[in-house]
Structure 1
């Protein structure tokens, strides 16, 4: 299964409780608990230090501006697919900082993924496909890395996405890392390819965030569909 190939380990019930900041009721029932129940109208006692200590362990989650979904394209399934994109599967949707780290820390980084794998992180309800209505008129910036050397840049890209670090963040659809035999690629997908100013701003900011010194190109999805590998860069940064 795709999930089994992506996930390092399953999240336990205790870890899930910690991720969602929900704690099981420590009372297990029984006569002793009934004795501890306050009478109607009774004000619970306890010293100030005790109450402050209890309050200190209640952590609030940190919501993100958008929800995001991780998607995995299984390389073994791709060879059997009837149509492009049919092997892509959603893995997990997250909407808080805590949920992001809980899933990120339990998935393989690009250097550990099988050759041929594609791992995506897209805004919730946007599918990482050319045919998606939000992606259809867009394109992508692409960075290239030596085989197994994209882990840090992939993490920085994810943090830039969920942290809304782009000036034209509304243009962002998501990102994908492609693991291949000789190299890794990270692509940043955007919505409106005709908005040259926004695309150039995104490309330049992305390079700065990654400290990436090579020239990167922006290819329009429509050109990629028609020309495949013959598609040329519309913009460069």
Structure 2
């Protein structure tokens, strides 16, 4: 899996060919779109009759080779944007075509972050924050990921603008779910996120949940790899 479409299922229904028009029409529409977007940043907007979300979001996908040294540059090159959405209907259009985490292989990650926030430790929205981490035994990632992102999109965490995004990391021996927030020092907020996370994932009482600041994540990575500013991961 080397590009952003590798994380999408094959679709033989033909739905993706509808309403595309002739090649000339498509080229004309593409030119018009490029002209419009050159003067302003393109943001996702709900379609007519759709149900808008409180925030816009972007799906990202990354796959890394285990054991290979990482850096900010290599991480940014490796993470691919799948697409952004602003409504319930647009979310399901993406999600219904995406491979489930449990079916991914190797060292792969799905990221769902608010539009405009990169899934990287040093992004302005993330750098003072942290994340709750839950390590899962194999076979649970798909269900937990779906429950987590639906809770996030549905604003079930009730912490205002604190939530930045969520990550599911598929590894060989285990899978990891995490949710990122803006302000690591706000203990009341991080506690509320923890309690909501435990509820929406229906976690057993003895489940280990770890909170880690992004500052600590960067320091641990640097100490282990001897790298400077390695960028975000799981």
Tell me which interval the TM-score lies in, with the shorter structure as reference length: 0.7 to 0.9
Residue 216 of structure 2: aligned partner: 223
Q: In the aligned structure 1, how far is the partner of 2:124 from the partner of 2:223?
A: 24
Q: Is the 8 A contact 1:110 1:148 kept in 2?
A: no
Unaligned runs of 5+ in 2: 22-47, 225-234
Question: TM-score, structure 1 length as denominator?
Answer: 0.73
User: TM-score, normalization: structure 2?
Assistant: 0.74
Deviation at 1:69, TM superposition (A): 0.3
| 1:135 paired residue number | 126
Cα pair distance change 1:61/1:11, threshold 3 Å: farther
Does the Cα contact within 8 Å between 1:75 and 1:114 map onto a contact in 2? no
Distance in 1, Cα, partners of 2:12 & 2:86: 17
CA RMSD of aligned residues (A): 2.8
Corresponding residue number in structure 2 for 1:51: none
Q: 1:78 to 1:176 in 2, by over 3 A?
A: farther
Number of the residue aligned with 1:48:
none
- Count of residues paired in the alignment: 193
Tell me what 1:7 maps to.
8
What does residue range 1-237 of structure 1 map to in structure 2 within 5 Å?
1-9=2-10, 14-15=15-16, 60-76=49-65, 79=68, 83=72, 85-86=75-76, 87-213=78-204, 214-228=207-221
Bigger relative contact order (CA 8 A; separation at least 6)? 2
Larger radius of gyration: 1
**How far 1:136 moved relative to its partner?**
0.2
Secondary structure of the 2:112 match is strand
